[in-house]
Structure 1
């Protein structure tokens, strides 16, 4: 596993130095790995300090939550290792005053021992200090008693509640009570798609087969409670929420806040899909989701996976979640609509259905044959595009083919109607650059055709389509694009039609030219598109767009007589 680090023993300190450099409202203790709010008032005027921490590797936790209305200080140990008693005590001394300090601690032995002893020492020094232990991992409900469960991502919500209570001027005992009550009303469960790699270890903590996952894991790169088969996101969401809801005893009408937390290696796309599934599950059971957040809040290095947390809320608890707070990693708000808002698209005038012409059956058969060919070649086109592009051409062509097969019979009434309908359909169905290119080409070609086009008419329409692609994208033959297949095909088609050859013979000449042109792209250095970023590394395989053009051109062969 490659890491952007200088030395494994320096990762924590250098990370904290970077965070302090980036955030002017934070300061770093000189002698310990502790981030503190910068510019704190004199100790006598400080409110209750809220301090948390633990091992590094959970970023943005814990230093990311140091800021007004959240944590006053965060104490970091080595990766996945509890900070020392001295480091915690230094954090208390730097952040707290006579009003005291509340330590928010996740339920791990090292954290409880070191933070607990530091609390005793600080209290003996005259800084009253209490500790709240978060044990929100419901995956362990059948394994250990509740007080011995792990503390995981839901701890972030306790940071916010305790920080808001302290910032409002409440005394230490009340801040601690509010935090403990919230921790009792909290449940979390996680799933990992793979392991993470601790910098000092240099290799993953465990190995999963491609179709395996770990259910019910902690936040230190360990295995979960159960190894299971990979399922769609909605199925995993159901499993996690069923466990959390059962543990919290939730019934219809209960009010909750939802935290969708990435474990470090999960992209926002997947977290949004998980959030969608979670909200649907909760609302489907009559629960009221008052607030929701999704993102990386408490991670396990680069582990792919996520956790879901539910916090039972009332008006008082919501007020603390909503209270002003500012820290680098805290996303203020969390307010969501009661249901998804769907806005209808702009209305369009309905056109009278065209009268099918004599070519309609042949047009439909040819076009559907091209769609089927593209679907059969999806894997090969994906492979080609992955070698010199972003790998989405195969699925894009298959998506376009599916949309074509869904067209009604009227869409093939005449050549002009068919090409226009194809252009509109592909414009909507295919993302990236292929959709606009094909749509523009087909719409341009449609304007050249009557109800009974000759071979010369088809050749002119094809030439106009190819020209439209070049104009839209700025490509020329030799740039290693689909034009390297289409441009020679258009020239061959026009020459054969002008020589009086039949449409079938002229199209066969076009296919031959397209095939040779696509093959020639193997030795071309790309000058446009994503492949251009690879330079010579893209050479040796044909351009995927050119190859796709040959696929559908061959499928059309013989369809129009």
Structure 2
């Protein structure tokens, strides 16, 4: 188990200390794993209805992250994935509630219901009016258990917001409880896990998944889902989740909803944004009116990779509660959506159209050579990704594959002359290849194009164009041979091509010799300590693996051999 913890038994206490240290409006209840608002009036008669929630730890930012004006008055934390004790819940009620009473928002798990329910009874016996609202929003269990026995998952956060807003406006306990219960009744949530999580005390994952599998319809305690299914693309998965929620909650055209895209702890914002994009598109296609939407990690399961989607039916009154001001640290504030807008960039001046001349000497073969390079880029994608991942950021393979697609998409007018073709190729790679490779190849090709204004360059002109292209790469990146970069393949290859031609070898022979030099140069990078780029951060750990950029040079040089000469 690899986690940034000191000791499993100290995790909850140390976590709460850290959270409260970062949140000036919060305080720790002495002797308890309870986070309370620091602005609770000392005079109990001045206290509004207290909204309290909690449960096992491991769901951060829930529940402590929602303690603040306009949301929760207190959050009670149990051990990881374990309900807090009755005494801890009762201590929270005593700390923040007054004659106006307290509302306990409870997720529908047996331990939570028992401990929060018993605490409510004890509080009532002490004269503190207390109500309990249970959230059971997990629609994945629709075919497994009756609605009242479904689990409470991420939709609970929206109940916190509505109940907290009602309490902040001075509503009575009965009114706050009614608003919370009505919100819970309109919620539907369903989740998916791409992998397990590890409870610190257990030290091992809760379940195992093959690379091509995922758990559909899981809870939030590291347990398995309702069923195990093959891995799906994000769009297909969102369609599955939404279809179940929409059917179960009977949401259709004209209904107004709030959408919550929730990460389970191990899902990056990039993937959540892709999920949110599809969810919004599907709802718009179905003419469901998305009034508010949020994407992020709201109620997690430690480091579990996966997400859940929640839909809540709304009206004007509920929207005002969702929009009401709160300074709870984990609430994302404004969930309002703007109309979909796209701004078109200013188009550059277009050169005069040039009629293509496929019959021009050599240009048909030139185009075939370039398309062969595109084939080679795609065939080498996996290998280049592996090499780049070993000593870089792992994007070279997919970047060059995108470059290959851009080459195939060039219009016929691009192939009218070497100068025009190289210019078009350089600009296509500039637009399609990310990272450093795009600028390097674009600069090299554009520099070479300027040296080939003659429409029928001879072999020595091509050799000179190769040389100046390599110089352009060196100038742009500041690298030299020996720095473990693409130059370690390019520089010896360009030198050999020119020398071989001058010695009387044919262009085909000279190019073969050039390819051999590129291969030697790329292989030599396995013994070089990197001095530039991301690989330089690894130092000697990069040794033994060839530089991916140098290997890519060999990839595109080899297929050209059959077309030269």
TM-score by length of 2: 0.97
Contact between 1:363 and 1:560, CA under 8 Å: does it hold in 2? no
Instruction: Return the alpha-carbon distance in structure 2 between the equivalents of residues 112 and 558 of structure 1.
Output: 74
The equivalent position to 1:394 in structure 2, one of 382, 393, 397, is 397
Contact between 1:49 and 1:102, CA under 8 Å: does it hold in 2? yes
Unaligned runs of 5+ in 1: none
- State the secondary structure of the residue aligned to 1:252: coil
Superposed counterparts of 1:482-501, under 5 Å: 482-501=486-505
Who is 2:27 aligned against?
Answer: 27
| In the alignment, structure 1 residue 546 sits paired with structure 2 residue 550 | yes
Contact between 2:106 and 2:133, CA under 8 Å: does it hold in 1? yes
CA shift for structure 1 position 386: 1.8
- Matched residues, number: 560
| In the alignment, structure 1 residue 303 sits paired with structure 2 residue 304 | yes
Who is 1:49 aligned against?
Answer: 50
Who is 2:286 aligned against?
Answer: 285
Instruction: Return the alpha-carbon distance in structure 1 between the equivalents of residues 301 and 503 of structure 2.
Output: 69
Who is 2:444 aligned against?
Answer: 441
Deviations 1:164-205 (A, max 9, x none): 111111111111101110110111011111111111111111
Instruction: Return the alpha-carbon distance in structure 1 between the equivalents of residues 470 and 554 of structure 2.
Output: 14
Contact between 2:59 and 2:302, CA under 8 Å: does it hold in 1? yes
CA shift for structure 1 position 354: 4.6
- State the secondary structure of the residue aligned to 1:475: coil
Who is 2:202 aligned against?
Answer: 201
Contact between 1:92 and 1:122, CA under 8 Å: does it hold in 2? yes
Instruction: Return the alpha-carbon distance in structure 2 between the equivalents of residues 512 and 246 of structure 1.
Output: 63
CA shift for structure 1 position 350: 3.0
Superposed counterparts of 1:206-245, under 5 Å: 206-245=207-246
CA shift for structure 1 position 154: 0.2
Who is 2:385 aligned against?
Answer: 382
Contact between 1:359 and 1:413, CA under 8 Å: does it hold in 2? no
Superposed counterparts of 1:45-124, under 5 Å: 45-124=46-125
| In the alignment, structure 1 residue 405 sits paired with structure 2 residue 408 | yes
Instruction: Return the alpha-carbon distance in structure 1 between the equivalents of residues 212 and 525 of structure 2.
Output: 37
| In the alignment, structure 1 residue 318 sits paired with structure 2 residue 322 | no
CA shift for structure 1 position 507: 2.3
CA shift for structure 1 position 526: 0.7
Deviations 1:72-124 (A, max 9, x none): 11000000000001100111111122211111110111111111111121222
- State the secondary structure of the residue aligned to 1:557: helix
Deviations 1:367-413 (A, max 9, x none): 11111112112222122212211222111111111211121222121
Contact between 1:362 and 1:560, CA under 8 Å: does it hold in 2? no
Who is 1:347 aligned against?
Answer: 347
Alignment RMSD (CA, Å): 1.3
| In the alignment, structure 1 residue 420 sits paired with structure 2 residue 423 | yes
Deviations 1:306-345 (A, max 9, x none): 111000000000000001011111100111124x322222
Contact between 2:61 and 2:299, CA under 8 Å: does it hold in 1? yes
- State the secondary structure of the residue aligned to 2:563: coil
Who is 1:478 aligned against?
Answer: 482
CA shift for structure 1 position 454: 1.8
Instruction: Return the alpha-carbon distance in structure 1 between the equivalents of residues 474 and 71 of structure 2.
Output: 56
- State the secondary structure of the residue aligned to 1:159: helix
Who is 1:362 aligned against?
Answer: 365
Who is 1:3 aligned against?
Answer: 3
- State the secondary structure of the residue aligned to 1:390: coil
Instruction: Return the alpha-carbon distance in structure 1 between the equivalents of residues 176 and 317 of structure 2.
Output: 13
Deviations 1:444-484 (A, max 9, x none): 11111021112221122111111111111111111100000
Instruction: Return the alpha-carbon distance in structure 2 between the equivalents of residues 383 and 61 of structure 1.
Output: 38
CA shift for structure 1 position 127: 1.9
Instruction: Return the alpha-carbon distance in structure 2 between the equivalents of residues 74 and 198 of structure 1.
Output: 21
CA shift for structure 1 position 495: 2.4
Instruction: Return the alpha-carbon distance in structure 2 between the equivalents of residues 354 and 97 of structure 1.
Output: 84
Deviations 1:241-294 (A, max 9, x none): 111111111121000000010111111111111111111111111100000011
Deviates more, 1:394-403 or 1:490-499: 490-499
Who is 1:454 aligned against?
Answer: 458
| In the alignment, structure 1 residue 508 sits paired with structure 2 residue 509 | no
